[in-house]
């Protein structure tokens, strides 16, 4: 006779072993490693936060201290590989296999370990893809999460950086897994209950507050005139042309420049209220001037940003906040909003090939791509129309019954033709293809596939790929904005001029933009200190961004 409660019995055994170290649900930080050795089993799937920003760093250190004779062969299924400890566990044999989404700070080390065979890679996922697999075939046996505080019943307050926590807990707790939370302190009453206590099995009061990466802060002082020119073209040639109001901005100086040009250049163009009103976006400090000048109506956030807490608390009409005044973020829901409710994703990449495929994988770095493939894809399940979505769809499909035409999400790559150390952005073949070949991946880690990309913007102009009617159009449109790279120098000049006459390629002068006008004086804020002034002193930037 089948035993339908085998998983539950296994969970109960883990809980019983862990309770020997706990007082109620609370385990001292000094016993965190012993707790993990008690509840983990060789080969377990483990989700460690490991988010985009928030890190369960106390539990990560505790996991590293586990005895590899007792805990080994773990399958890590976490969205972010951010801390050194996230990779240390692979060097000791505690962990063996990895499925993840993002590894920005550890991208170079991930590449070395993948090429060296120290990590068995499942896949580099989008966030929503990885979260979805938590509920299908990558369900964690143990989840190690982080929160601001908890009471002794385990009720958890995650604060502004809720991020991935609800999704991880939902998948783990309701499928017979064990949830361990590290918190900054144990309190009598939490400000609000973000995760109910009956879903949290153990609470560890950490020795230090959990680490949060200020991932989305861009110092306006570092913005270049080239980035400002590209931002001007994007605003006039895409935002204004399509009337984009609902959108997501990727990480980078290009989109930060757009945010800082809205109250100045955008105001000059008379676009206030017509574009960039509703965002799926982390609370970028460079968005402050646009919020303060009345451009931005609403922002839903994947996570928070260091130093923005007081500002968000005082702007509840813009942000989603709880009764306590703090932000409520949720990566899974915000990713869904970016996928289905936004008309445009605009972000950057490291490499673009001649078809328009893009990737952040290079020969020396495997940075992952987080949510960009969700934000930067055309969701075929969408059914509600909007002017921007319908206009893009009409450009892409010129025949057939209009009532049956599918709209298109705008997916814009905002890049300079040469990146850091004058490495060309445009290439014949993505380095992601080389990685796939070397480590035996069936599928190359492409960030955004060519058929989803609608526009590429460089300092040379805009390539509207929606208007391309064949492969030659597309290749020459890309070459036509690739600058003095090898790809750009290989253009068919007559064909490029034909594409320009058809409006597929638009130079700054075609848009009525004088490149010499792309000056830093156009930025609404030209330093972090200016952002503080715009916020009325509410923005409290991290120390590394202060020079006063």
Confidence of residue 548 (pLDDT cuts 50, 70, 90): confident
pLDDT by residue (tens digit) across 194-235? Answer: 999 999 999 999 999 999 988 899 999 999 999 999 999 999
Structure tokens at 252: 């980078």
Asked whether the predicted pLDDT for residue 398 surpasses 80, the reply is no
How many other C-beta atoms are found inside a 10 Å radius of the C-beta of residue 13?
13
Compute the C-alpha angle 515/521/522, nearest 5°. Answer: 65
State the helix-helix crossing angle for 225-234 and 253-261, rounded to 10 degrees. 70
Give the CA-trace dihedral at 482, 438, 361, 55, to 10 degrees.
180
Per-residue confidence (pLDDT) for residue 439, from 0 to 100:
83
- Distance between CA atoms of 528 and 389, rounded to whole angstroms? 35
Residue 495 has pLDDT above 80, yes or no: yes
Residue 15's closest CA among 109, 116, 142?
142
Predicted confidence (pLDDT) at residue 2 exceeds the cutoff of 90: no
Q: Which of 290, 283, 284 is nearest to 321 (CA)?
A: 283
3-state secondary structure of 13: helix
Q: pLDDT tens across 158-189, in order?
A: 999 999 999 999 999 999 999 999 999 999 99
CA–CA distance, 185 with 180 (Å, rounded to integer): 14
- Nearest by Cα to 457 from 474, 429, 478: 478
Q: In this structure, how many other beta carbons lie within 10 angstroms of the beta carbon of residue 69?
A: 9
| pLDDT band at residue 367 using 50, 70 and 90 as cut-offs | confident
Cα(332)–Cα(504) distance, rounded to whole angstroms?
A: 35
Cα–Cα distance for residue pair 130/52, rounded to 1 Å? 13
Q: Pairing between strand 142-150 and 178-186? A: parallel
pLDDT of residue 405: 85
Strands 211-212 and 54-55 come out as antiparallel
Residues 451-492 pLDDT 10s: 999 999 999 999 999 999 999 999 999 999 999 999 999 999
Q: What 8-state DSSP symbol labels residue 266?
A: I
Q: Interior CA angle at 333 toward 327 and 334, to 5°?
A: 65
Alpha-carbon distances, residue 433 vs 122, 127, 413, 424, 438 (angstroms)? 16, 22, 20, 17, 9
Report d(CA 193, CA 214) in Å as an integer.
Answer: 25
Distance CA 546, CA 437 (A): 44
DSSP secondary structure of 458-508? ETTEEEEGGG--SHHHHHHHHHTTSTTSHHHHT--HHHHHHHHHTTSEE-G
- Round to whole Å and give the CA distance between 308 and 227: 25
What local confidence, expressed as pLDDT, does residue 363 receive?
Answer: 79
Q: Residue 113 has which token pair?
A: 């370990």
Coil, helix or strand at residue 91? helix
pLDDT-derived band at 366 (thresholds 50, 70, 90) equals confident
Residue 296, pLDDT > 90, answer: yes
Q: Nearest 5 degrees, angle CA 513-CA 518-CA 521? A: 135
Taking residues 7-15, report their average pLDDT. Answer: 97
Span 389-394, mean pLDDT? 96
Task: Check for a shared fold between 26-212 and 220-531.
Answer: yes
Per-residue DSSP letter, 209: P
Name the token pair of 125.
Answer: 């996922």
pLDDT digit string (tens) for 410-432? 999 999 999 888 999 999 999 99
User: Which CATH number fits the domain 26-212, given the four candidates 3.40.50.11540, 3.40.1080.10, 3.30.230.10, 3.40.640.10?
Assistant: 3.40.1080.10
Do residues 263 and 290 touch, judged by C-beta distance below 8 A? yes
Which is higher by pLDDT, 13 or 444? Answer: 13
Cβ–Cβ under 8 Å, residues 35 and 181: no
Domain ranges in the chain are: 26-212, 220-531
Is 0.85 surpassed by the pTM of this model?
Answer: yes
List all residues 6 or more positions away from 325 whose beta carbon is below 8 Å from its beta carbon: 313, 316
Residue 401's pLDDT band (boundaries 50, 70, 90)? Answer: confident
Residue 273 φ then ψ, to 5°: 85, -10
Q: Would you say 10 and 176 are in contact if contact means Cβ atoms under 8 Å apart?
A: yes
Question: CATH assignment of 220-531?
Answer: 3.40.1080.10
Q: Which of 325, 249, 322 is CA-nearest to residue 287?
A: 249
């Amino acid at each position: 006779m089948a035993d339908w409660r085998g998983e539950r019995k296994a969970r109960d055994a883990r809980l019983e072993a862990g309770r020997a170290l706990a007082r109620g649900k609370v385990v001292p930080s000094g016993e965190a490693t012993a707790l993990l050795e008690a509840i983990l089993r060789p080969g377990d799937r483990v989700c460690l936060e490991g988010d985009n920003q928030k890190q369960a760093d106390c539990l990560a250190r505790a996991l590293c201290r586990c005895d590899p004779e007792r805990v080994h062969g773990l399958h890590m299924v976490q969205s972010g590989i951010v801390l050194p400890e996230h990779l240390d566990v692979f060097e000791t044999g505690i962990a063996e296999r990895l499925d993840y989404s993002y590894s920005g700070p550890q991208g170079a080390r991930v590449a070395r370990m993948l090429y060296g065979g120290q990590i068995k890679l499942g896949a580099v996922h989008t966030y929503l893809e990885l979260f979805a697999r938590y509920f299908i075939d990558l369900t964690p046996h143990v989840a190690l999460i982080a929160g601001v505080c908890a009471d002794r019943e385990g009720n958890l307050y995650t604060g502004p950086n809720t991020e991935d926590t609800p999704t991880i807990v939902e998948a783990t707790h309701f499928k017979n897994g064990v949830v361990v939370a590290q918190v900054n302190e144990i309190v009598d009453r939490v400000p609000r209950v973000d995760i109910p206590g009956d879903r949290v099995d153990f609470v560890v009061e950490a020795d230090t507050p959990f680490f949060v990466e200020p991932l989305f802060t861009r110092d306006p002082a570092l913005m270049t005139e080239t980035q400002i020119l590209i931002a001007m073209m994007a605003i006039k040639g895409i935002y204004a042309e399509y009337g984009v109001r609902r959108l997501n901005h990727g990480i980078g100086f290009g989109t930060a420049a757009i945010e800082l040009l809205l109250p100045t250049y955008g105001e000059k163009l008379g676009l206030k209220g017509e574009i960039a009103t509703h965002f799926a976006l982390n609370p970028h400090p460079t968005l402050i001037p646009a919020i303060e000048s009345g451009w931005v109506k609403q922002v839903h956030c994947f996570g928070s940003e260091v130093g923005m807490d007081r500002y968000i608390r005082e702007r509840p009409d813009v942000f989603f906040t709880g009764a306590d005044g703090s932000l409520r973020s949720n990566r899974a829901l915000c990713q869904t909003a970016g996928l289905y409710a936004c008309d445009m994703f605009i972000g950057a990449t490291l490499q673009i090939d001649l078809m328009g495929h893009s990737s952040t994988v290079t020969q020396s770095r495997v940075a992952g791509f987080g949510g960009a493939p969700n934000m930067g894809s055309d969701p075929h399940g969408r059914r509600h129309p909007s002017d921007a979505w319908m206009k893009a769809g009409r450009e892409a499909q010129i025949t057939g019954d209009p009532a049956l035409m599918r709209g298109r999400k705008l997916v814009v790559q905002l890049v300079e033709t040469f990146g850091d150390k004058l490495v060309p952005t445009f290439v014949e073949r993505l380095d992601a293809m080389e990685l796939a070949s070397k480590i035996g991946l069936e599928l190359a880690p492409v960030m955004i596939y060519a058929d989803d990309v609608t526009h590429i913007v460089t300092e040379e102009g805009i390539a509207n790929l929606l208007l391309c009617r064949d492969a030659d159009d597309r290749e020459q449109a890309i070459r036509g904005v690739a600058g003095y790279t090898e790809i750009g120098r290989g253009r068919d000049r007559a064909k490029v001029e034909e594409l320009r006459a058809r409006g597929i390629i638009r130079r700054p002068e075609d848009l009525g933009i004088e490149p010499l006008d792309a000056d830093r004086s156009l930025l609404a804020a030209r330093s972090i200190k200016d952002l503080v002034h715009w916020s009325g002193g509410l923005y409290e930037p991290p120390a590394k961004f202060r020079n006063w």
